[in-house]
Amino acid sequence: NGIDIETVPKASRQDIRKMWGISDNEIVIGTVGSLIKRKRIKELIDSIALIAHRSEQPIKCMIVGEGPEKGNLVDMVKRKNLDGKVIFAGFQSDAISHISALDIFVMPSEKEGLPRVVIEAMLIGKPVIASDITGSSELVVDGETGFLVPAKSADMFADRILRLMYAPDLRRRMGENARKRIVNNFSIERYINGVERVFNEVLGH
């Protein structure tokens, strides 16, 4: 997959946060994707519940997307008394602007291809915490652009989120490394050149 490295959010970080009533001192953790079982959004909610018990830092969790699991996830948020901490933003045609409002991007899926949304998050300089699965592990460099953790491990997700919450310099450095990795390895130009090279090799035989 390739991405136009000139892609930028249409709305500012401040505008999106204002739209959803997020204050400047709140750390925003979030994800974007279809609300289906394999995306394991429940692990993100579980990790937010763990963080809420371990930390007094004001946080918000933003979940962008729609899908058949939404009702179950909303009920889960209510059961865990997280109503004031979790925002269901629904489907957003301009998802990248919502990603720009996050401080930490989380991809808890148990199965992925090469997730474009992780590419987008890294391109705009967000540290990414993702399940250590095919696809995400090809993008995220553990300890450099974010963290990789075992799938279905809410406690590990919570641990890594907490680590980034209290380390703004680490968030910034990982975000910068993430952008460099995408620009250097996943630009649309590099993708096209790679496809052309494969065709040339095949046709050459």
What is the reported pTM? 0.91
CA dist., res. 67 & res. 50, Å (int): 25
In this prediction, residue 37 carries a pLDDT of 97
For the chain (205 residues), the mean pLDDT of every run of 10, in chain order, is 86 96 96 97 98 95 98 98 96 96 98 94 98 96 98 97 97 98 84 61 73
In this prediction, residue 201 carries a pLDDT of 72
In this prediction, residue 205 carries a pLDDT of 62
In this prediction, residue 111 carries a pLDDT of 94
Q: What is the enclosing helix (H) or strand (E) of 158?
A: helix 154-165
Non-local (6+) Cβ contacts of 79 within 8 A are: none
Residue 193: how many CA atoms within 13 Å on its side-chain side? Answer: 6
